[in-house]
A and B are shown apart, each in its own frame.
Chain A
Amino acid sequence: GQQVMQIPQYQHVQEGEDFTTYCNSSTTLSNIQWYKQRPGGHPVFLIQLVKSGEVKKQKRLTFQFGEAKKNSSLHITATQTTDVGTYFCALRASGGSYIPTFGRGTSLIVHP
């Protein structure tokens, strides 16, 4: 299936610091989705990016889709303890399977 590289695997931050996770593909993507899974919970949809260079914001979260549509990032400004969890990207290659492939996720640990 589609190869997805998501980095880093883990990230420890002090509350108030910024956080970024990256999702990379070797092939051009049709779209990318981001999900968040709280500890002990299930993934919850955050956002979808479709257009080249697209930037979307949700409060302290900023999502970007690369110009070449091969990568994406999720940036959290001034992390809070409520941001703790694992962030997954799910991507679909252009012309490939219409079923999205999930990355391995980045686990964010926020220290108060």
Chain B
Amino acid sequence: DGGITQSPKYLFRKEGQNVTLSCEQNLNHDAMYWYRQDPGQGLRLIYYSQIVNDFQKGDIAEGYSVSREKKESFPLTVTSAQKNPTAFYLCASSLGAQGIYEQYFGPGTRLTVT
């Protein structure tokens, strides 16, 4: 069953701790994305990757880091430098990074930092 998975669904952390969110896809897609969603803000792009071992900053990359060591995996680390980390995080993938391809989204991880 092809798809994109994110884990965990809910994550709680203390302020000052780094946390890594998982994203895995078995769709054989080249491109992967991380978005942050806050109420009323829509989807804001954090990082994207067009191909293995390559990634680019999106609109709100500060305080986040990513890696793309495998085609299937694109983990996101929320560092302690991120001032307002509490949010809903969505991972997506597409056949290619060109905007003509539809994006497939994972179920999301809701991160709460206190």
Contact = CB atoms under 8 A, between A and B. Distances in A.
Contacts, number: 58
Nearest to B45: A99
B99 A98 contact: yes
User: At the interface, is chain B mostly helix, strand, loop or mixed?
Assistant: loop
A53 interface: no
Interface in B65-114: 90, 92, 97-100, 102-108
Interface of B: 33, 35, 40-45, 48, 58-59, 90, 92, 97-100, 102-108
What band does the interface of chain A fall in when counting residues whose beta carbon is under 8 Å from B? 20 to 34
Nearest to A43: B105
Interface string A72-112: 00000000000000001010100001111111110000000
B59 A104 contact: no
A99 B107 contact: no
